[in-house]
Amino acid sequence: MSESFEMIAKTFQGLEEVLAEELTALGANDVAIGRRMVSFSGNKEMLYKANFCLRTAIRILKPIKSFTAKNADEVYEQVKGFPWKDILDENKTFAVDAVVFSDEFRHSKFVSYKVKDAIVDYFRDLNGKRPSVRINKPDVLINIHIAQSHCTLSLDSSGESLHRRGYRQEAVEAPLNEVLAAGMVLMSGWKGECDLIDPMCGSGTIPIEAALIARNIAPGVFRKEFAFEKWVDFDQDLFDSIYNDDSQEREFNHKIYGYDNNPNAHDIAIHNVKAAGVSKDVVLKLQPFQQFEQPKEKSMIIMNPPYGERISTKDLLGLYQMIGERLKHAFCDNDAWILSYREECFDQIGLKPSRKVPLFNGALECEFRKYQIFGGKYKEFKKESNEKQGSHTFRRNKER
């Protein structure tokens, strides 16, 4: 078996624990949670699996050198001192992506220029030739992360962000990111044990990600390529065995329902569901949430209503009031999870959440809240138990 090495899986803030659970289930070692990332270790097979199977990772980095640098010249010298011939040659293209949190290094573009110059000069000194820089789809994508003076050079094994699954044919305005949608489903604990409903499904991202989770279909199956396929040590047979292994896929005996009141969104969702190959699991319907009725089967709602930020709506608070009213009257004895941004929107729902999880949707600091909707039976049960408690208290006081 090939040697083990450290890797870093990047994600959105709020999804780190879900990603760590995914990595542990995948068989990764030394799983440790950081901010917007989870570090882990494994071999080449784990690197391929992480890219292919993880639902809540944005990209997988393989660190190749760590060092401290107080200025740009020191970064240049450290980068130039790395044996780049093991990774690149003059016939390959490369690009540099810089992420900088530092008082000394203010501009990430300047850092990436310095790294690029160091690599080019390394090859010029070596044989008088140089590899070309290519921004779009380079053969090798290099990442440099600087936190104050601590620098980490990594190879980006993913290339295009892993949220770009490949099934999305079209999108509505401000579509939900696929990684965030999958994270919401996993965070809810739903794995296909009952029906799932998204009453405002837009282009169908939550229903599609839920269907892939229910059947345990790897999200990487739709991707045309990963960056590691261009690496000098790429093992085609190993990757083919991972790609063609469907032994972990499972049956799903329930349904996923996606509703929306926008005909354009409905059409787009149909195309996307078809492209993802989950048409038999996902039922789409053009229907406003005002017409939502109590489902016959045990169900869970996961939804991402408009916040009035990227998508405007005429009566935002009225919309959330209606959501609360429908949940109370037409979703008894089930759980609903809602992602939103404004406290005043949540207030209009008029229900007490049993969980609140901070989650970022793009730059917006949102909350993902769980509501347990109890029907009349529960209210009667509470009333009865309170009355019993009251009569016991009265008797005890008399006895004294």
Span(s) in the chain for CATH 3.40.50.150: 178-230+251-378
- Give the dihedral sign, CA 358/364/370/373: positive
Tell me, letter by letter, the H, E, C secondary structure of 342-390: CHHHHHHHCCCCCEEEEEEECCEEEEEEEEEECCHHHHHHHHHHHHHHH
Span(s) in the chain for CATH 3.30.2130.30: 5-156
- Token match 């030394």: residue? 30
Backbone φ, ψ for residue 304 (5° rounding): -130, 80
CATH number for the region 178-230+251-378 comes to 3.40.50.150
- Residue 392 predicted with pLDDT over 70: no
Tens of pLDDT along 57-71? Answer: 999 999 999 999 999
If pLDDT is split at 50, 70 and 90, which confidence band does 105 have?
confident
If pLDDT is split at 50, 70 and 90, which confidence band does 20 have?
very high
- 264 within 8 A of 202, measured Cβ to Cβ: no
- For residues 259 and 59, what is the distance between their CA atoms, to the nearest angstrom? 31
If pLDDT is split at 50, 70 and 90, which confidence band does 394 have?
very low
| Domain at 5-156, CATH class | alpha beta
- 220 within 8 A of 244, measured Cβ to Cβ: no
Backbone φ, ψ for residue 211 (5° rounding): -65, -40
Q: How far apart are the first and last CA of the chain?
A: 75
pTM over 0.85: yes
pLDDT score of 398: 38
170 vs 165, more confident: 165
- Token match 């016991």: residue? 392
pLDDT score of 245: 93
- By DSSP bridging, strand 299-303 and strand 334-340 are parallel
Strands (E) across 199-318 are located at: 256-260, 282-286, 299-303
Question: Over the range 36-56, which residues count as b (16 or more CB within 10 Å of their CB) and which as e?
Answer: ebbbbebebbbbbbbbbbbbb
Residue 143 three-state SS: strand
Backbone φ, ψ for residue 397 (5° rounding): -65, -35
CA-CA-CA-CA dihedral for 196, 192, 282, 302, to nearest 10: 30
Instruction: Dig out the tokens for 352 from the structure.
Output: 């007490």
pLDDT score of 136: 84
Instruction: Dig out the tokens for 120 from the structure.
Output: 């080019």
- Residue 121 predicted with pLDDT over 60: yes
CA 74 vs CA 149, 195, 270: distances in Å: 10, 57, 54
Residue 56 three-state SS: coil
- 261 within 8 A of 287, measured Cβ to Cβ: yes
Where on the phi/psi map is residue 96: left (φ > 0), alpha (ψ -120 to 50), or beta? beta
Non-local CB neighbours of 77 within 8 Å, separated by 6+ positions: 118
